[in-house]
Amino acid sequence: MVGILNVTTDSFSDGNRYLDPHAAIAKGLSLAAQGADMVDIGAESSNPDGERIPAAEEIRRLTPVIEGLKEKGVRISVDTYKPEVMAHVISLGVDMINDITGLRDPASVEVIRKSSVPVVVMFARNQGPHAERTYRDHLTVMDEVERFFSERLRALHECGIPDDRILIDPGMGLFLGGTPEPSLVVLRRLAELKRFGREIYLSASRKSFIGRVLDRPVHERGIGTLAVELWAYLQGATYIRTHEPQPLRDAVRMIQAIERAG
């Protein structure tokens, strides 16, 4: 279970709330107290209208928060696609890198290869870091996702990154398409990704497709988010990135208790 912490000005759910390092550290500790096994910190929004920021600014936002949470024993993932940011946060002792561009930049590949840190490779059509409001054919989306992972995993293996350090994320919401259907199809067929032999990482919390299906604004998508996350867990996702760890933690514990009964 991975808690979401955005130190951004323009994230769709909580932009501008945690730019102050003290507020961000307090939020990270709260996520850990709610049951998050790790906190994923992002300093640049993937919002289609989001601002791109220089690596130096990303490092400036991330460093005090990482240091503050590491002092408290919190495990940390960093959401970044920039190789210089990856190298810096790895030097600070982070536990995972989360690259929403699919680890395509050769410089990023080299940073990860030289480290011992696991990396999340997300399905990404383009090299850019922002989602898109683009119509996509939901009937072919799963073939596209599987083809992407076949190619990327082969390439990363050939570059010398051990297979067991790579997690796969099929992307959700606007990363898959501007309508709900591609996300719903990928969720329905999520278990098929287990054929790649990698742990599955899913990040659907409060995303647009949930709002479209339920006709709910961002902060009224908690129940819909929980339903998606439980489905993903039951389909074999081992890492679930969420804004609200405690409801998910409780729900998973109940499912596990039912599975053990009798």
pLDDT tens string 16-34? 789 999 999 999 999 999 9
CA quadruple 147, 153, 156, 158: dihedral sign: negative
pLDDT tens string 174-190? 889 889 999 999 999 99
The continuous run of DSSP H or E covering 210 comes out as helix 208-214
pLDDT at 171: 93
pLDDT at 211: 97
d(CA 170, CA 176): 8
Q: With contact defined as beta carbons under 8 Å apart, do 160 and 207 qualify? A: no
Q: How many CA atoms lie within 13 A of 44 on its CB side?
A: 24
- C-beta neighbour count of 47 within 10 angstroms: 16
Structure tokens at 205: 């919390």
Which residues of the chain are under the pLDDT cut of 70? 10-15, 48-50, 126-133, 135-136
d(CA 84, CA 206): 30
Q: With contact defined as beta carbons under 8 Å apart, do 53 and 17 qualify? A: no
d(CA 173, CA 12): 12
pTM: 0.93
d(CA 129, CA 114): 23
d(CA 159, CA 161): 6
d(CA 207, CA 202): 12
Domain architecture of the chain: domains with CATH: 2-260 (3.20.20.20)
Spatial CA neighbour of 180 closest among 214, 139, 213: 213
